[in-house]
Structure 1
Amino acid sequence: MRETAEQEKKLLEPKEDKQLARRLMLLFFIVFVVFAVLVLRLAHVQLVAGETYAMLSENNQLKRLPITAPRGRILDASGEVLVDNQTVFTVTFQPLEGRNQPKQDIQAIAEHLAKVLEMEPKEVLEAMDVGPQRRMSSYIPRRIKSGISPEVMAYLEEHRNELPGVDVVPEPMRKYVYGNFLSHVLGYTRPVPADEKDKYLAKGYRADDRVGVFGLEAQYEDVLKGIDGYMEVLVNSRYEQVGKKNVVAPVRGHDLVLTIDRDFQAKVEAILAETVRSLAKKGVRQASAVVLDPKTGAVKAMANYPNFDPNIFNGKISPEVYAKEIQGREQNIAINGSYTPGSVVKPATVLMGMHEGVITPKSRLPAGVIHIGGGRTVSDGGRASGMITAKVALQRSSNVFMVGIGERMVKRHPGPYQDLFPVFDRYYQMFGLGQKTGIDLPKESIGLRGRDKYYGNLLYMTFGQYHNYTPIQLAQYVATIANGGYRMQPYLVQEIRRGTDRPGEEAEVIWRKTPKVLNRLPMNPAYIKDVQEGMRMVASPGGTGYRVYQGLPFQVAAKTGTAQTGAGDNSLILGYAPYHNPEIAFVVVIPKGGAGSAVSGPVSRKIIEAYFGLDKKETQGEDR
Structure 2
Amino acid sequence: MLRRLKQETNELKQKRLTDRRINVIFIAVMALLTVLVLRLGYLQIANGESYKKAVDNNENIEVNESVPRGRIYDRNGKLLVDNVSKKSITYTRGRMTTTKEMLDTAKKLAEYIQMPTDALTTRDKQDYFILTRKEEVNQLMAKNYKMFEQGMMTQDEFDAALYKKLTPKYTAQLSPEEREVAAIYREMSSGSQLSPQTIKNNHVTEKEYALVSQNLSKMPGIDTSMDWDRKYIYGKTLKTMFGQVSSKEEGLPKDLVDYYLAKGYSRNDRVGQSYLEFQYENVLRGKKKKMRYITDKSGKIINTKVIDEGSRGNDLILTIDIDLQKKVEAFVDKHIAILRSQGAKDMDKVLVVVQDPNNGDILALAGRQIDKNGRITDYHYGTFTSQYAVGSSVKGATLLTGYKTGAISVGEKMIDEPLKFQGGLTKHSYFNQNSKVLISDKEALMHSSNVYMFKTALKIAGAAYKDNMQLPSDITEAGLKLRKGMNQFGLGVKTGIDLPNEVAGQTGVLKDNPGNYLDLAIGQYDTYTPLQLSQYISTIANNGYRIQSHLVKEIREPSKTDRLGAVKKVFAGKVLNRITNSQKEIDEVKAGFDMVFNRVEGTGYASFNNTVVRSAGKTGTAEVFQDGESRVNSTYIGYAPEKNPQMSFSIIYTNQPVPPPWLPGGDLGRDIINAYFQDQAHKTATP
Matches of 1:253 and 1:370 in 2, distance apart? 62
Flag the 1:343–1:130 CA change in 2: closer, same or farther, 3 A.
same
Q: Structure 1 residues 271, 73: CA separation in 2 closer, same or farther (over 3 Å shift)?
A: same
Name the CA shift for 1:184/1:366 in 2 (closer, same or farther; >3 Å): farther
- For residues 553 and 103 of structure 1, do their structure 2 counterparts lie closer, same or farther at Cα, with a shift above 3 Å needed? closer
Shift of the 386–130 alpha-carbon distance from structure 1 to 2, 3 Å rule, reads: same
1:588 and 1:163 map into 2 onto residues whose CA distance is 61
2:665 equivalent in structure 1: 600
Work out which of the residue numbers 431, 439, 448 in structure 2 matches 1:382: 431
Question: d(CA) in 2 for partners of 1:360 and 1:42?
Answer: 90
Q: Which amino acid aligns with 2:57?
A: N
RMSD, aligned CA: 3.8
Describe the SS at the equivalent of 2:613.
Answer: coil
**Aligned partner of 2:268 among 208, 212, 219:** 208
Equivalent residue number for residue 392 of structure 2: 343
Is 2:89–2:224's contact at 8 Å kept on the other side of the alignment?
yes
- Structure 2 residue runs without a partner (length 5+): 1-37, 128-181, 465-471, 683-687
- Does structure 1 conserve the Cα–Cα contact (< 8 Å) formed by 2:102 and 2:185? no
Query: Conserved in 1, the CA contact under 8 Å of 2:510 and 2:517?
Result: no
CA distance in 2, matches of 1:584, 1:164: 61
Going from structure 1 to structure 2, the CA distance change for 1:330 and 1:153 (only over 3 Å counts) comes to: farther
2:196 is aligned, of 136, 141, 144, to 141
- Say if 2:408 is the partner of 1:359: yes
Alpha-carbon distance between aligned partners in 2 of 1:330 and 1:605, rounded to the nearest angstrom: 22
Deviation at 1:573, TM superposition (A): 0.2
For residue 315 of structure 1, what is the aligned residue in structure 2? none
Query: Displacement of 1:284 after TM fit?
Result: 2.3
Preserved CA contact (<8 Å) 2:612 2:677: no
Deviates more, 1:598-607 or 1:278-287: 278-287
Give SS of 2:273's match: strand
Deviations 1:218-274 (A, max 9, x none): 111111111101221112355321212334211221111112211111101111122
Partner of 1:282: 345
Partner of 1:118: 118
2:306 to 232, 246, 252: 246
TM alignment of 1:281-360, pairs within 5 A: 282-306=345-369, 329=378, 332-360=381-409
- Aligned runs of 1:384-423 on 2, under 5 Å? 385-411=436-462, 416-423=474-481
1:456 deviates by 0.7
Q: Which amino acid aligns with 1:377?
A: T
Task: Note the 1:150-169 alignment, pairs <5 A.
Answer: 150=205, 169=225
The reply to whether residue 447 of structure 1 matches residue 505 of structure 2 is: yes
Identity fraction in percent? 34
Once the two structures are TM-superposed, the CA of residue 301 in structure 1 deviates from its matched residue by: 1.2
Match of residue 137 from structure 2: none
Give 1:98 deviation, angstroms.
Answer: 4.4
Matched residue, 2:574: 516
Change (3 A) 1:223 1:129: farther
Please tell me whether the aligned partners of residues 357 and 648 of structure 2 are also in contact (alpha carbons under 8 angstroms). Answer: yes
1:490–1:402 CA distance, 2 compared to 1 (3 A): same
Deviation at 1:354, TM superposition (A): 1.6
The verdict on how the C-alpha distance between 1:43 and 1:73 changes in structure 2, with shifts beyond 3 A counting, is: same
Aligned to 1:29: none
| Partner AA of 1:611 in structure 2 | Y
**1:21 corresponding residue in structure 2:** none
Q: Measure the CA separation in 1 of the matches of 2:306 and 2:270.
A: 25
Q: Confirm or deny: 8 A CA contact 1:70 1:226 kept in the other structure.
A: yes
Which range moved further: 328-337 or 577-586?
A: 328-337
Write out per-residue CA displacement over residues 316-371 of structure 1, whole angstroms, 9 at most, x where no aligned residue. xxxxxxxx9x9974660111111111000001011111222222223222324223
| Aligned equivalent of 2:648 | 585
Could you tell me how far apart the structure 2 residues matched to 1:346 and 1:507 are? 46
- Asked if the contact 2:209/2:224 (under 8 Å) is kept, the reply is no
Kindly state the Cα deviation for residue 525 of structure 1 after the two structures are TM-superposed.
1.6
Q: 1:152, CA displacement in angstroms?
A: 11
Give 3-state SS (helix, strand or coil) of 1:572's partner: strand
- Mapped to 1, the partners of 2:417 and 2:199 lie a distance apart of 69
- How much does 1:467 deviate? 0.8
1:129, 1:142 within 8 Å by CA — same for their partners in 2?
no
1:578: Cα distance to partner? Answer: 0.7
Once the two structures are superposed, what CA deviation does each residue of 1:407-444 show, in whole Å capped at 9, x if it has no partner? 22223599822332222211100000001111111111
Assess if the C-alpha contact under 8 Å between 1:139 and 1:239 holds in 2.
no
> What is the match of residue 371 of structure 1?
420
Q: Is the 8 A contact 1:92 1:167 kept in 2?
A: yes
Residues 129 and 576 (structure 1), Cα distance of their counterparts in 2 relative to 1, 3 Å cut? same
Pick from 466, 476, 501 the counterpart of residue 560 of structure 2.
501
Moved more, 93-102 or 216-225: 93-102
Q: How does 1:80-91 map to 2 (within 5 A)?
A: 80-90=78-88
Contact 1:116 1:152 in 2 (8 A): no
Task: Determine the C-alpha separation between the residues in 1 that align with 2:589 and 2:98.
Answer: 84
Residue 490 of structure 1 aligns to a residue whose secondary structure is: coil
- What is the CA distance between 1:550 and its match in structure 2? 2.3
Greater shift, 281-290 or 590-599, is seen at: 590-599
The CA distance in 1 between the partners of 2:455 and 2:201, in whole Å, is 64
Counterpart contact for 2:633–2:655, Cα < 8 Å? yes
Alpha-carbon distance, 1:155 to partner? 12
Alpha-carbon displacement from aligned partner over 1:151-179 (angstroms, at most 9, x marks no partner): 99579959x99998676642122212112
Question: Alpha carbons of 1:616 and 1:59: their partners in 2 closer, same or farther (altered >3 Å)?
Answer: same
The amino acid of 1:604's aligned partner reads G
Q: TM-score when scaled to structure 1?
A: 0.80
Q: Which residue of 1 aligns with 2:623?
A: 564
Aligned partners of 1:61 and 1:234 also within 8 Å: yes
More deviation, 298-307/342-351: 298-307
Q: CA deviation at 1:99?
A: 6.7
Q: Distance in 1 between matches of 2:503 and 2:524?
A: 19
Partner-residue secondary structure (3-state), 1:411: coil
CA 1:570/1:390 → structure 2, altered by over 3 Å: closer, same or farther? same
Determine the C-alpha separation between the residues in 1 that align with 2:572 and 2:119: 48
State whether residues 355 and 363 of structure 2, in contact with CA within 8 Å, keep that contact through their aligned partners in structure 1: yes
Q: Kindly indicate whether the alpha-carbon contact (under 8 Å) linking 1:114 and 1:121 is maintained by their aligned counterparts in 2.
A: no
1:614/1:598 Cα in 2 relative to 1: closer, same or farther (>3 Å)?
farther
Q: Which amino acid letter does the alignment assign opposite residue 65 of structure 2? A: I
The equivalent residue for 1:54 is 52
Distance 1:194 1:91, change over 3 A: farther
Count residues in correspondence: 556
Q: What SS does the aligned partner of 1:269 have? A: helix
